[in-house]
Every structure is written in C-alpha cells, then in structure tokens.
C-alpha cells in the first residue's frame, strides 16, 4: 500500500515545488516601476514638446507600437517558460510576405490570406517547439537558425521585384481603420464588466476552497483604476480619429492570453515550467507539450504582428521583419517586467514595454534626435530593467535559502 500511494505523494510535492517557484512573481505591484518610468517619459517629452501629448500624436503612437507589441506578446510567453525565440522578427516578415503574395499575386481574399499567414506562423512555431524538445538542441540555436532561414524564405517568396504593394482593404484596414466613437465606449464597458465578473468569480472560488483572498476594497480599487485609465485612453483617442483597429487587436490578444496564463490550468503549467521545469515534470506536467504550445503561440503572434506591420506600410519588402524589430520585441517584454529567468511576468508587459520603447522613439523623433541617440537611450533602459530583474531574483534566492 505504501508503494502505491508514494507516486501520487511525490507528484503532489513536486507540483507544490513548481508552483512555489513561480508564486508571487506577478503581483499587482509589479507594474508600478514601469508605470512610473512611463509617466516620467511622458512628462519630460510633454514639457519639451507639447505636441507629444496631443490626441493626434498619441493615436499615432498606438499605431507605431501595434506590430511590436503584438510580437512581444509571444515573446512574453516564451520568456515565461525560460526560453528565447530569436526568429520572431524574421518570421513576422516571412508570414507577411506569404500573405501579400497570396492576396496580390494569387487573388486570395485579404482575410483568408491573413489566416493563412497566421497558420504558417503557428506551424513554424510548432516546428521550433518539436525540434527543441525532441532533439534537445537549445532554443537559442534553433531559433537563430530560423532567423536566417525565414529571412531567406522571404526573399524567395517576394521574388525579383523585392516589394509587394498591398491595396486590399481587408488587410490595410487593420492599421488604417478606427472604431466609431460610440463603439469604443461600448467596448470599454464590456471589458470592465468582464474584468469585474472574472474577479468576483475568482474571489468566490477561492473562498469556497478556503483560500486567502484580497480585501474587497482592493478588488474594487483595481477595477476603479482600470475604469479611470480606460476612460482616459478612450477619451484621448476619440478626440482624434478614434480607437485604431490595430490597438483593439493588440489589447484583445493580450486579454485572451492574460486570462489563459492567470486563470487556467494551462497557464499554471506554463508558469510552473518556467519556475522549475524539473519539478513540473515530476508533478506530471507535459513539459515538452507546454513548450511546443508556447512556441506555436509565439509563432502565431509573430505572424499577426507582421500582418499589422504590412497593413500600416501598405507593402511587404525585403527588409520586412528585419532591422530592430526583433530587439524591440524582446526589449518590450523585458522592460515591461517579464523575467529573463522564467516563471515571472505578465502578458501585459508586452503592451507596457512597447509603450515605453515607442514613447522614447516617438518623443525623440519630435525633438529631432538622430537614430543613434534613440538606440543608446533604449539600450540603457533595457540594461536597467534587466539589472533590476537580476537583483530582484538574487534577493529572492537569498530569502529562500
């Protein structure tokens, strides 16, 4: 009898270890340093150039960060399991190229071409995940190979012209269209209602299971902050052209994956794998399956980001997905508060980090600074963010010792 019950006991202990490794790593206060930095950036640029905080410029800012933020969502998921994907930039360009060729040269309807591009990204992500888990080749090497391969695939797809111009409104409206003002307010009301219902349901479930719950005052305060921030954002965007479709798409993607990570068993397994992969394996979690799923999700997000970028530029060319796109996507995830060591962070880090990087770039453009200065400042912010994360991890390890 002892032998029969030993295995479940070991699995339970391993699961507790894995959960403990990632517990408390996405607290409500984790975003405060990022928000404080963002407030300082906006205050500095706003004081130096009043156009920075104008509704027109802030609308442009959301359009500028949409593609990077979408790709960064996938990067956040990859970092949560303690891995890295260097191919997301090149993959975004390749997927956009496939979409453009399908639509422009083969006459495939825009929405179908977009779905095909996303399916391609998911398929490549699955390939990455399977290769990493089945061959034990580090993700760094596999995705570095992908970075080179998908750049070459883009050149092959585009052919001799090197550029494919996009005119299909089913594609261009992603980055060029805006919600009616009344619909923006309705969307905000729906989001707030969903957040409130989700928080209350989670609270009741924890009470039923005898677990600790935050005070009702804290829950209401969090919801009130979301209402105030959301209302200000909608009001500012509506003062110009309205809420961009690209922003709605980005926020919708974040909300979906945030709910998956925080509210589902799959999300708990993702955090457990990132916190302690070996303990998660001993607890019976399919670690290889989780890794493959995350790489697939990152591939799909990268492809969608490439589509958004192509929609904004009305074209795909040989440089699509290259340049600083990869570095900005990874930097956005890290600056937003996602740990490079795995198991700590939130999907919202993609949006906040992209907003920080985009604000720096946008503000310096308004002030006439050259590209080299923007790179230096962004690099300094990234280094500071990683340093803070490393020091925090060191303190946690000492406290647990």
Confidence of residue 24 (pLDDT cuts 50, 70, 90): very low
CA–CA distance, 166 with 171 (Å, rounded to integer):
8
The Cα-based distances of 65 to 214, 300, 325, 352 in angstroms read: 34, 18, 11, 10
Tell which phi-psi region holds residue 42, choosing left (phi > 0), alpha (psi between -120 and 50) or beta: alpha
The model's pTM is 0.90
> Is 255 in contact with 73 (CB distance < 8 Å)?
no
Beta bridge partners of 336: none
| pLDDT the model gives residue 323 | 85
Burial of 362 (C-beta count, 10 Å sphere; 0-12/13-18/19+): buried
- Does 138 fall in a domain? yes
380 and 316 in one domain? yes
Burial of 315 (C-beta count, 10 Å sphere; 0-12/13-18/19+): middle
Joined together, the tokens standing for residue 351 give 């949006």
121 and 52 in one domain? yes
| pLDDT the model gives residue 74 | 96
Number of H helices, E strands in the chain: 16, 2
CA–CA distance, 366 with 121 (Å, rounded to integer):
35
216 and 126 in one domain? no
Structural domain span for residue 200: 180-243
Domain count, the chain: 2
Joined together, the tokens standing for residue 348 give 């919202």
- Does 347 fall in a domain? yes
CA–CA distance, 146 with 125 (Å, rounded to integer):
10
Joined together, the tokens standing for residue 386 give 């990683």
- Does 298 fall in a domain? yes
Asked if the model's pLDDT at residue 399 lies above 70, the reply is: no
172 and 190 in one domain? no
> Is 321 in contact with 24 (CB distance < 8 Å)?
no
Confidence of residue 192 (pLDDT cuts 50, 70, 90): confident
| Phi, psi values for residue 317, rounded to 5° | -135, -175
252 and 129 in one domain? yes
The percentage of residues in the chain with a pLDDT greater than 90, rounded to a whole number, is 61
């Amino acid at each position: 009898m002892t032998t029969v019950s030993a295995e479940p006991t070991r699995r339970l202990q391993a699961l507790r270890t894995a959960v403990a490794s990632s517990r408390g790593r996405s607290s409500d206060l984790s975003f405060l340093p990022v928000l404080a930095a963002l407030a300082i950036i906006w205050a500095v640029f706003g004081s130096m150039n009043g156009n920075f905080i104008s509704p027109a410029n802030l609308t442009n800012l959301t359009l500028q960060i949409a593609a990077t933020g979408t790709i960064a969502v996938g990067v956040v998921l990859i970092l949560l399991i303690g891995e890295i994907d260097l191919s997301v930039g090149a993959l975004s360009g390749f997927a956009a190229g496939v979409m453009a060729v399908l639509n422009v040269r083969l006459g495939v309807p825009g929405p179908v071409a977009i779905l095909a591009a996303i399916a391609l990204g998911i398929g490549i992500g699955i390939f990455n995940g399977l290769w990493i888990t089945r061959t034990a080749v580090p993700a760094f090497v596999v995705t570095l190979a992908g970075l080179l391969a998908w750049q070459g695939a883009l050149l092959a797809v585009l052919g001799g012209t090197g550029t494919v111009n996009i005119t299909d409104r089913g594609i261009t409206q992603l980055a060029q269209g805006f919600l009616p003002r009344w619909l923006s307010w309705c969307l905000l009301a729906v989001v707030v209602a969903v957040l409130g219902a989700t928080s209350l349901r989670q609270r009741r479930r924890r009470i039923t299971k005898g677990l600790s719950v935050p005070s009702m005052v804290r829950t209401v305060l969090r919801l009130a902050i979301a209402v105030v921030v959301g209302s200000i954002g909608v009001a500012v965007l509506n003062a110009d052209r309205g809420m961009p479709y690209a922003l709605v798409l980005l926020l919708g993607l974040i909300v979906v994956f945030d709910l998956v990570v925080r509210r589902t068993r799959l999300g708990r397994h993702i955090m457990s794998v990132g916190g302690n992969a070996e303990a998660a394996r001993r607890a019976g979690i399919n670690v290889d399956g989780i890794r493959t799923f995350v790489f697939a999700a990152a591939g799909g997000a990268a492809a969608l980001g490439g589509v958004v970028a192509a929609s904004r530029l009305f074209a795909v060319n040989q440089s699509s997905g290259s340049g600083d796109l990869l570095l900005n996507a990874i930097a956005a995830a890290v600056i937003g508060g996602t740990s490079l060591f795995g198991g700590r962070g939130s999907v919202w880090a993609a949006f906040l980090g992209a907003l920080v990087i985009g604000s720096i770039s946008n503000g310096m453009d308004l002030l006439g600074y050259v590209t080299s200065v923007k790179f230096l400042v962004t690099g300094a912010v990234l280094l500071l963010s990683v340093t803070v994360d490393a020091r925090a991890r060191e303190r946690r390890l000492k406290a647990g010792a």
